[in-house]
Amino acid sequence: MVTASICTIGDEILIGQIVDTNSSKISIALNSIGVKVNEMTSTSDNENEIVRTLERCLEKTDIVIVTGGLGPTKDDITKKTLGKLSGAKEFVKNQEQYEIIERLLTARGVEMSDLNIAQSYVPDSCKVILNECGTAPCMLFEFGAEKYGHNALLFSLPGVPFEAEAALPKVLKIIQEHYKMENIFHKTICTFGIPESTLAKTIEEWEDNLPDNLHLAYLPNPTLGVRLRLSIYGVDKEQGERELEEESRKLEAIIGDAIYGVGEDSLQAAIGRMLKSKGATISTAESCTGGSIASLLTSVPGASQYFYGGIISYDNSVKINTLGVKRETIEMFGAVSEECVKEMASGVKKLMGTDYSIATSGVAGPDGGTPVNPVGTVWIAISGPDFLLTKRLQFHASRKLNIERFTSNALNFMRVKLQNDLNCNR
Amino acid sequence: MVTASICTIGDEILIGQIVDTNSSKISIALNSIGVKVNEMTSTSDNENEIVRTLERCLEKTDIVIVTGGLGPTKDDITKKTLGKLSGAKEFVKNQEQYEIIERLLTARGVEMSDLNIAQSYVPDSCKVILNECGTAPCMLFEFGAEKYGHNALLFSLPGVPFEAEAALPKVLKIIQEHYKMENIFHKTICTFGIPESTLAKTIEEWEDNLPDNLHLAYLPNPTLGVRLRLSIYGVDKEQGERELEEESRKLEAIIGDAIYGVGEDSLQAAIGRMLKSKGATISTAESCTGGSIASLLTSVPGASQYFYGGIISYDNSVKINTLGVKRETIEMFGAVSEECVKEMASGVKKLMGTDYSIATSGVAGPDGGTPVNPVGTVWIAISGPDFLLTKRLQFHASRKLNIERFTSNALNFMRVKLQNDLNCNR
């Protein structure tokens, strides 16, 4: 199996100023083509440290991916250090990267400085992988077996996350060609609403009967639910896709309701797709979630096609005056009640003239809990052309996590209902 | 200087399934007492790998902090491996941790299994640091100079982020006592609205004149702004606090408007404090920010004291029917205009009967841009008892980042106005 190490360079990671998100993105990408990551390391902007770390990683693994330390200022020494490590004789100008730098700076209205020009120079021992989104070129260094006991590839990528991410497809292609790697195809199935351990039990029999060349990984996430990644090895594209399709169909027969999409999907995107396919619209009435549901719904590009708007009715006066919740309802049942959340959902749907609506009222904490409605309680209502459904849930987390869970569960409640309705009409 | 390495153990980090946030939290904590972190490493749940990594780190640094691999299942092998590494003769039960495990499980309504009982057993070569929030005890191993050339401390903490974080104060205390460390005190000053490079220029003279035992670090963050961390070394508490106070006063005289708080503050918390001190209330009318402003305002505990509610007027019909924006305004100037955003701010303030309001209308992208209002344009209005102010900003980022910047800049606009008004009335 081809192995890799990932090294990040930069004091800002070591002092905890920024969290390293590059390594996990790179690791996911490497895993997706069947490369195993054996180590992740962060080192400071210090030449000896960098050399020691890189030599250790080059000895240990086939591939080393380095991010960071490519900025124009003098504390960024990765390029110089890699030049030495690889025995470069001189630094040469890369004309194509030079032109990219010029274009980027012109677009920003900045004049090219000596430091920027210096960024287009690279050690003559490397191959340049153009960085289309930034000024620092990506570099590939190849080491023969005489140096580290085996052939090794070292990639140097920028530390800026979106620049590093943009370079990954090119890096993967080079690795796949270099190592003539076995085919591997993936399909990620997104589920929500079944806890990981229950899900594992529910699909145990299906999992046990998977073909030997098909692997399953659980990727749990508090807001995205549990995603199931199926990987198939050593087959051609057509067969791979057919087998992945077949297994996902079997899975759907077992946990259909819980599946909301594939790949990088989200509950809000799934809701958006279904609303668009119906030509329907939606609105929100939020108390305890304070705008989080609307904020997620509108995070999807094109949400204005189906999301009309929402009311955040934090104060009871807004529930009464704007949403039209009856004063007696709140006096009799309280704001955190099935009755109130029903009137909120109906109220906003009528007010904004939408086909569907979602409403929440609960206690996020840390204060405000009562014996009937302790911190972590939420009432959710969803409403549509011919239904008004409610649900009460109880969580036990911090204010922040409670709000996140109220929000994702409210979205999922609507998602399941829309999905079931669509399936019935098929 | 006392040095440290941080090692995370677990395949879930190496395959990119979770991002390691523990290391940066631990590093910030270590830095805060003057310990320098030289390396961060992630290794898989493999005994040889763990031993190799830990021995290397123990040779290199005074302190090694290990997180993860302490779960009850058999793939978690950190405790066993540490036992071997430290020459433990047997595993002994820690009664206090046992009682904590029992209490935690009872609270969750779970019966104690053999695996849970096993968690209360630790190598006889360690000192236990009780884990009050979880079932896995934290452990301290001390190594004499004969083994790694210098005295070394190895701490083993759980991988669960809030459990690791909860253990940090105890870890810091042990380190400070063990190494008789120099006093160090910090003050973090939160600023927003001045880009890092401009800020550095603006405060250059002040920075150059700081006493030698006073250090400054820039901590830039897209939503929190640039935080300035002042650290003072080698003085007693009283003098330390006095000097930090003095320097922050000087800083305030230079960039007063940009400073919104200290420590772990946020723009929304600063707004909340000022509104509470006035006994005033606020509401929001959001178009392009889709509920993000309300969501941040309500993320602050106790926000219901001043936040009445908000309207998310994504569709123009909501702007007109609910907020009372004039149809002619939208027809003549468009929804993304100074006129519209003014009427939105006035409308929601009147509708909800609040003293203040914030409104936004813009183009988050990726589609919907025009020559007049390209993607990344936002109009912001803030309104109060005797003012109605507007601002137009232009960003060039993705939908997600544009929304984040619209949101933090809208909050900052209101924060600066409230702060200036309070200062004038002093």
- Report whether A337 contacts A379 (CB < 8 A): yes
For residue B294, give the nearest of B302, B285, A352, A351 by alpha carbon.
Answer: B285
Work out the burial of residue A245: count CB atoms within 10 Å of its CB; fewer than 13 is exposed, 13-18 middle, 19 or more buried.
Answer: exposed
- Report whether B403 contacts B364 (CB < 8 A): yes
Contacts of B298 in chain A (CB under 8 A): 290-291, 312, 314, 403
pLDDT single digits (tens) B4-49: 999 999 888 888 878 899 999 999 899 889 899 999 999 988 899 9
Structure-token pair, residue A138: 């990506």
Q: What is the pLDDT of residue A383?
A: 98
pLDDT single digits (tens) A355-391: 999 999 999 999 999 999 999 999 999 999 999 999 9
| C-alpha dist (Å) from residue B84 to B91, B146, B153 | 11, 17, 16
Note the CATH number of domain B184-262.
3.30.70.2860
pLDDT single digits (tens) A108-157: 777 888 888 999 999 999 999 999 988 999 999 999 999 899 999 999 99
Contacts of A17 in chain B (CB under 8 A): 24, 217, 219
Q: Judge: B18–A24 Cβ closer than 8 Å, yes or no.
A: yes
Hey, what CATH topology would domain B3-179 get? Answer: Molybdenum Cofactor Biosythetic Enzyme; Chain A (3.40.980)
Q: Judge: B312–A313 Cβ closer than 8 Å, yes or no.
A: no
d(CA A364, CA A376): 5
| Residue-wise DSSP of B19-52 | ---HHHHHHHHHHHTTPEEEEEEEE-S-HHHHHH
Task: Please report which confidence band the pLDDT of residue B92 belongs to, taking 50, 70 and 90 as the band edges.
Answer: very high
Q: Does B42 touch chain A (CB under 8 A)?
A: yes
Query: What's the mean pLDDT in A181-190?
Result: 88
CATH class of B267-424: alpha beta
For residue B410, give the nearest of B385, B390, B387 by alpha carbon.
Answer: B390
Q: B330 or B201, which is more confident?
A: B330
pLDDT single digits (tens) A43-78: 988 899 999 999 999 999 999 999 998 887 777 899
Residue A400 has pLDDT above 70, yes or no: yes
Q: What is the pLDDT of residue B114?
A: 86
The residue type found at B33 is: I
Residue A106 has pLDDT above 90, yes or no: no
pLDDT single digits (tens) A255-275: 999 999 998 899 999 999 999
Q: Judge: B304–A314 Cβ closer than 8 Å, yes or no.
A: yes
pLDDT single digits (tens) B368-396: 999 999 999 999 999 999 999 999 999 98
Q: What is the pLDDT of residue B286?
A: 98
Contacts of A289 in chain B (CB under 8 A): 295
Q: Judge: A38–B49 Cβ closer than 8 Å, yes or no.
A: yes
**Shortest alpha-carbon distance between residue A90 and chain B (Å):** 31
Bridging pattern class, strands A259-262 and A184-191: antiparallel
pLDDT single digits (tens) A153-167: 999 999 988 899 999
The SS3 assignment for A74 reads: coil
The Cα diameter of chain A in Å comes to 84
Residue B426 has pLDDT above 70, yes or no: no
- Report whether B392 contacts B378 (CB < 8 A): yes
- Report whether B153 contacts B178 (CB < 8 A): yes
Q: What is the pLDDT of residue A426?
A: 67
- Report whether A381 contacts A344 (CB < 8 A): yes
Q: Does B123 touch chain A (CB under 8 A)?
A: no
Q: Judge: B309–A297 Cβ closer than 8 Å, yes or no.
A: no
CA A291 vs. chain centroid, Å, equals 21
**Shortest alpha-carbon distance between residue B426 and chain A (Å):** 31
Q: Does B309 touch chain A (CB under 8 A)?
A: yes
Mutation target to probe the B interface, by most B beta carbons within 10 A, among A21, A56, A314 is: A314
d(CA A284, CA B303): 20
Domain boundaries, chain B: 3-179, 184-262, 267-424
Residue A18 has pLDDT above 90, yes or no: no
ipTM over 0.90: no
d(CA A417, CA A394): 21
Query: What's the mean pLDDT in B348-357?
Result: 98
Structure-token pair, residue A8: 């990040």
A-contacting residues of B 52-91, CB under 8 Å?
53
Query: What's the mean pLDDT in B322-326?
Result: 97
Mean pLDDT of chain B: 93
